Amino acid sequence: MKEKPLLLAFVLVAALGCDSLPGRPDPADRYQRPSEVEDFALLYATHCSGCHGADGRNGPATNLGDPLYAALADPVEVRRVIAEGVAGTPMPVFAQTGGGTLTEKQLNILAEGLKAGLNGSESASRLRGAPPLTAKAGVRGQASTAQLARGEQAYATYCARCHGAEGTGGASGGSLLEPAFLGLVSDQALRTTVIVGREDLGMPGWQGAGERPMTAAEVSDVVAWLGSHRSSAGDAASGVSIK
Amino acid sequence: MNRLRAIGKWFDDRLALGRLYDQSLGHRIPFSSSSWWYVFGSATLLCLIIQLVTGVCLALVYVPSPDQAYASLEYLDYEQPLGWYLRGLHFWGSNFMVALVTIHLVQIFLFGAYKYPRELTWMVGSALFLATIGMAFTGQTMRFDQDAYWGVEIIVSILGRLPLVGEAATHLLQGGPIVGAETLSRFFTLHVFVIPATLIGLLVIHIRLVLVLGISEYPEPGKVVDPDTYADEYEQVVERTGIRLMPEGGGKDLVFSALVLMAIVLCAALIGPKIPNGPADPSLIHTVPRPDFYFLSLFAAFALMPPDLESFVIVYVMPLAVVLLFAVPFISRGGERHPSRRPGAVILVILVLTGLFTLAWEGVVSPWSPEMDAWSGVPVQPRFVEDRSPLEHMGATVLQAKQCRNCHALDGAGGKRGPDLAGVATRLTEDQLIRQVLQGGGNMPAYGNHLSPHEVSALVAFLTTLHAEGQAPARDSASWARSARESPGSR
């Protein structure tokens, strides 16, 4: 007779406790078709983190995790780049319509998530005078001689300290003029890196590169000057020789 | 009390329960066979009972049709109160049953308990073992998820290699020329009717044989089984030392069965059932199907063996293994039983188990499968990004974007099909890296036609940075000799 309340308590605990047992399948682990995933963090982790880094930083490709990037990025342009990729660079096409795996909805989620910021977004007060992140569409090799001269001047002012006087590498920054690098990088990627910087790797952005922040014109000029060093040798059409 | 006894006697007079007890649970066994080594058979029986009970309960909800099977599992897992627990019990019951029936078989083999006069007991037991494996496989198919789908594909591919009967057998098993709507019904019928009925039938014979021939006495070194005298000797042992199986002899069986029951109940509660990993849809390409643990060895063996060998193994080796299993009591009919006098048997068990476990481990790791999402989903570790030039960063991006990472890990993260690239610069010089990328070789395809010269340059620039701090990168012998000649003291 004495055991009865004890038994009752046990049954009660067992019945109520069963729902919180560790073996109970967690609905969060439920299988989802890849096309049904709508969680930004998961989409970013499976499709972007390989090149752009686990939290958008410390990856080899463009720094998407900087709050400055989130504040300046144009979500329409971000979505377009994810969907269509960037021809001639390692950025692939992700839209299903172009042979990728992401649906229209997933592209929107990624663009909105990147705009909201992987690590938050920079406050507007610090952005006064920021050059526009997206350049007006320009065609390679159309910079005027005058612009190139201004670009060289801007390079000497803001970049040479680390990347060397000639642009071929210096104290703490590697060469920017390697034909293979310039052949695979887009002007937009150069521009984004000049403006946002790579704080994760010790490279300042437009505000910290020199004694005063870079102007929008200086950013465009330096990108044009860097781009003018591209050569057509080494593009997909030409051969490579084994040493 | 007297009335109760009278009622009991009334039933006993008609059902002869006392005589049934004397001949079954109460039958006399040698004292030495009441041992902790003799508990695995009864524990397997317990698992079977758990499987029957939980299986019947699952069948109340499970819908054996391809479009609803997966949904009914999700209903059990997430909607029905304690439905997941029922699945957990059935899943862990099957795991324990396969493990225990295997241990039982190994123990019988090591103790030489299959020898005269128990040859038939061994053969029926072997059939029970195969039936249990059959239950496990068809049970895995019931989940009708990605694992199930590709598991069926593999098994029917194996069947299809059999000469003459291959095509008919696959057609029969699949209910058509391909895995389709009928396939699940076929496997459901096997799992719920055909194999359980066979299993129970065989089990009746198995237990009948155990009762008629008696449980083998604990083996003693030097004591030899001689078919001419064994029966008399066994009778004398039982006469001299015999105890009743229940209640005297079976205590250890009860204790061990209780432990197994507790283990199953706990595993189901703490680890839970296996979550189905996506509906059986061959259009889902981002899938990594793996069989349940008991088939991992087979999975790995077929993944690793050269394709030329597959048909030979399927047509000759696998049937031969089954024939040998059944023939064991005829290959060694009498003689010593104790394992210390049968080193060949012990070595055989060690070799087979080591082989199975090694293959199973390979099956878990499955280094032969590329990791198809690694290129976009496994980040380049920050330490391979720090202190590198823009070109080297571009090279790391090319490494990812061209999906090198799907086969090549960087310090353990990524595919395991090719060598880890974390220290590749200490193994290959720059020229060798270029050659390897362009021309492939050693199982690696040539990428010369898929990469632009810029991409190759960037990629190789990155790869040449991949050596541990303080460890010199590889140099070609000519440049090494040159530098040694120029400054002899510096190497």
pLDDT in tens, B222-233: 999 999 999 999
Neighbours of B315 (CB within 10 A): 14
Say whether both B257 and B378 belong to one domain. no
Note whether A39 and A104 are same-domain residues.
yes
User: Is residue B443 classed as helix, strand or coil in its secondary structure?
Assistant: coil
Question: Is A233's pLDDT higher than 70?
Answer: no
Longest dimension (CA), chain B: 113
Residue A89 belongs to a domain? yes
Q: Is residue A37 part of a domain?
A: yes
Domain identity same for A166 and A110: no
The domain boundary, picked from B314, B338, B365, lies at B365
pLDDT band at B491 (very low <50, low <70, confident <90, very high): very low
User: Domain range holding A145?
Assistant: 140-227
Q: Does B78 touch chain A (CB under 8 A)?
A: yes
B160 occurs within a structural domain: yes
Does A91 fall in a domain?
yes
Which residue, among A94, A55, A57, has the nearest Cα to A78 in the 3D structure?
A94
Mean pLDDT across chain A: 87
Q: Is residue B67 part of a domain?
A: yes
Model confidence at A2: pLDDT above 70: no
Residue B255 has pLDDT above 90, yes or no: yes
Task: State ipTM.
Answer: 0.89
Per-residue confidence (pLDDT) for residue B47, from 0 to 100? 98
Which of residues 81 through 120 in chain A touch B, CB cutoff 8 A?
90-92
Query: A92 and A144, same structural domain?
Result: no
Strand ranges inside A50-175, DSSP E: none
Can you say whether residue B472 is alpha, beta or left, with left for phi > 0 and alpha for psi between -120 and 50 degrees?
Answer: beta
Domain contains B445:
yes
| Residue B394 host element (H or E) | helix B390-401
Average pLDDT over residues B405-414: 95
Inter-chain CB proximity A235 and B454 less than 8 Å: yes
Domain end among B312, B330, B365: B365
The answer as to whether A74 is a domain residue is yes
CATH number at residue B478: 1.10.760.10
- Amino acid at site B144: F
- pLDDT > 90? residue A80: yes
Judge if A111 and A159 occupy the same domain: no
Q: Are residues A110 and A171 in the same domain?
A: no
DSSP bridge partners of B145: B279
Q: Of A198, A199, A190, whose CA–CA distance to A222 is shortest? A: A190
Work out the number of other CB atoms within 10 angstroms of the CB of residue B476.
13
Residue A125 falls within a domain, yes or no? no
Q: What is the pLDDT of residues B91-116, one digit of tens each?
A: 999 999 999 999 999 999 999 999 99
Report the chain B residue with the minimal C-alpha distance to residue A176. Answer: B390
C-alpha dihedral, A123 to A128 to A134 to A139, nearest 10°? -160
Domain end residue (candidates: B332, B365, B398): B365
The last residue of one of the domains, among A57, A83, A116, is: A116
Q: Looking at the domain assignment, is residue B4 inside a domain?
A: no
Whether residue A26 is contained in a domain is answered as no
- What CATH number should be reported for the domain holding residue A189? 1.10.760.10
**Residue A240 pLDDT > 50, yes or no?**
no
Please tell me whether residues A196 and A153 are part of one structural domain: yes
Look at A5-19, A52-66, B126-140 and tell me which has the smallest mean pLDDT: A5-19
Which one of A46, A60, A179 has the shortest CB-CB distance to B377? A46
pLDDT at A129: 81
Does residue B417 share a domain with residue B352? Answer: no
B33 dihedral zone (left: phi>0; alpha: psi -120 to 50; beta): alpha
Average of pLDDT values for B3-19? 91
- In this prediction, residue B257 carries a pLDDT of 97
Residue A6 has pLDDT above 80, yes or no: no
Q: Are residues A157 and A189 in the same domain?
A: yes
Residues B117 and B258 in one domain: yes
Q: Is B9 exposed, middle or buried (0-12, 13-18, 19+ CB in 10 A)?
A: exposed
Same domain (yes/no): B254, B175: yes
User: What CA–CA distance (Å, rounded) separates B106 from B339?
Assistant: 12
Inform me whether the pLDDT recorded for A139 exceeds 70: no
Q: Mean pLDDT over residues B437-445, rounded?
A: 93
Are B34 and B166 contained in the same domain?
yes
Q: Do B377 and A49 touch (CB under 8 A)?
A: yes
DSSP codes of every residue in A216-243: HHHHHHHHHHHHTT--STTSTTS-----
Q: Cβ B400–A90 below 8 Å, yes or no?
A: yes
Query: Rounded mean pLDDT of B242-246?
Result: 90
Q: Which two tokens stand for residue B359?
A: 């293959």
Q: Work out the angle between the directed axes of helices B453-463 and B430-439 (0-180°, nearest 10).
A: 130
Same domain for B154 and B135? yes
Domain span at residue B404 reads 374-490
Residue B490 has pLDDT above 50, yes or no: no
Does the residue A135 lie in any domain?
A: no
Residue A207 has pLDDT above 80, yes or no: yes
**pTM, whole model, 2 decimals?**
0.85
Question: B336 CB near a chain A CB, below 8 Å?
Answer: no
The verdict on A235 touching B (C-beta cutoff 8 Å) is yes
Average of per-residue pLDDT values in chain B: 93
Percent of chain A with pLDDT over 70: 86
Asked if A59 has any chain B CB less than 8 Å from its own CB, the reply is yes
In a domain, B2, yes or no: no
Task: Tell me the pairing of strands B243-244 and B335-336.
Answer: unpaired
Q: How many domains does chain A have?
A: 2
- pLDDT exceeds 60 at position B431: yes
Q: Within this chain, do residues B71 and B215 fall inside the same structural domain, yes or no?
A: yes
Shared domain for B257 and B295, answered yes or no, is: yes
Judge whether B425 is closer than 8 Å to chain A, CB to CB.
Answer: no
Of A101, A116, A131, which residue is a domain's last? Answer: A116
Question: Which residues of chain A does B382 touch, with a Cβ-Cβ cutoff of 8 Å?
Answer: 53, 58, 200
Domain assignment of residue A153, yes or no:
yes
Q: Whose CA is closest to A30, among B79, B379, B94?
A: B79
Which has the closest alpha carbon to B260: B83, B58, B40?
B40
Instruction: Look at chain B and report how many structural domains it folds into.
Output: 2
Q: Which of B36-50, B58-72, B279-293 has the lowest mean pLDDT?
A: B279-293
Kindly state whether residues A86 and A41 are assigned to the same domain: yes
The answer to whether the CB atoms of A61 and B393 lie below 8 A apart is yes
Question: Are residue B438 and residue B303 in the same domain, yes or no?
Answer: no
